[in-house]
Structure 1
Amino acid sequence: MLIQPNSPALPNAHPSAANDLAPSALAQRLPPLLSVIAGMVDLTGFLTLGNIFTAHVTGNLVLAAAAAVRGGPLNLAQALAIPVFIAAVALTWLIAQASRKHGPALARPLLIVQFVLLAIVLTFSVLTRPSTNPHGLMAGIAVMIAVSAMACQYALLRLALPRAVSTAVMTGNLTNATLTVMEILSKRGSIMAADARRLTGSLALLAGFLIGCLVAAAAVSVLADWAWSLPLALAAVAVVLY
């Protein structure tokens, strides 16, 4: 039997092939929202949980290395945040494998995982009030849960939306935005392909992360440990919308 050129896709075609080829509104709209969440989580954790970066492993790695070499007091939670992040990324991969989903279809289950982890952070913080002792055991536990939530977000982007720009590494986004502007303004020929969408995307993520930080700073001053309710609310919005 001959297959007509306009016939439907073959039954054994990969279920995510169409999603991978077609432009996805998810890839355009979800990262800015996640960047706001990342900014809120990072600054809320920094201000209430012993000056530890919950969304920036690089910062914790630098501070832990400096303390180890210079002989200063080692912040155990800061050092543990690095292997916990790695373990959480690996666990997210296992969850993705178990879901048997691919591409953008992975976004929703992993968004639910992020929501659950942030809900645990809020509940734990309200019950134990770790901000009253930022370097204590309760604060350390809260940090690890928050770091796990951000690890899930990082893994979500790489697994579900691999072409999306990072929602938390603002150094890369600022570099992309600056280079793209230079390429657009250049009259001597381009070194790289100038992409207006890349510029718009990088600026949107920069703005989102900054807004998240500013809102979190104000929320911590007013709400203390309840400030975790704001990134949780946005995580719920992400689950509902996407």
Structure 2
Amino acid sequence: MTEFLDGPHGRLAYCRAEGQGPGVVFLGGFRSDMQGTKALWLEEWARTHGQAFLRFDYSGHGASDGAFEDGCIGDWLADARAILSLTTGPQVLVGSSMGGWISLLLARALPERVAGLVTIAAAPDFTERGFWPEFTPALREELLREGQILRPSEYGDPYVITRRLIEDGRNHQVLAEPLELPFPTRFLQGTADEDVPVHWATDLLAHATGADMRLLLVKGADHRFSTPECLDLIGNSVQEVLARAR
């Protein structure tokens, strides 16, 4: 059942399953919502294992209030922090794509609330490492002048990229300063991912510090990382992190 929390930018939609802790919190990707394949699969996995679980929509996403084009990384990070207030004790964060970036920001800001971390095609700093370099000088000029541009998407209609999204992203980079992850951490990455290059995953592994950190590369897996085999890997990784966190 969908419930709502009064968040920093309006009502935030969420669903949760009761169970044992540490709880698992799923953080979705850019323009994704909590009805996605991975979120629903992981919720069923959690119910089967008697595991507490929480999924939610950022503002401007899914059933939450707000317009997508009004948001930025800092806003969605604030949403995630608000959602954490629904939980008790350290949680295992599972971040997909942009959710990987936000989970890393949460881990840096609130390490005491993180029992472990699993990322799926994590895209830290993607506004600066991905969007900005691909824009032509003319597009950059249009973005700065008009405040937004349209970017084509293979997942549907073109979407709005705003100047605020780019500039705010620069203020929330995780690869520009030390990143300590003092808890069990697993990075999952497909080699056929056309949105997040494999070297982003290896860069993250090299940059972060922590005593229990691994990167698993899956040959042929794309950015969706939603085949039955990939979903099983997500579940196995979460189970391993939970066991070590306990």
TM-score interval, smaller chain? under 0.3
Higher strand share: 2
Question: Please, what TM-score do these two structures have when normalized by structure 1?
Answer: 0.26
Work out which structure has the larger RCO, using CA pairs closer than 8 Å and 6 or more positions apart in sequence.
1
Higher helix share: 1
Question: Please, what TM-score do these two structures have when normalized by structure 2?
Answer: 0.26
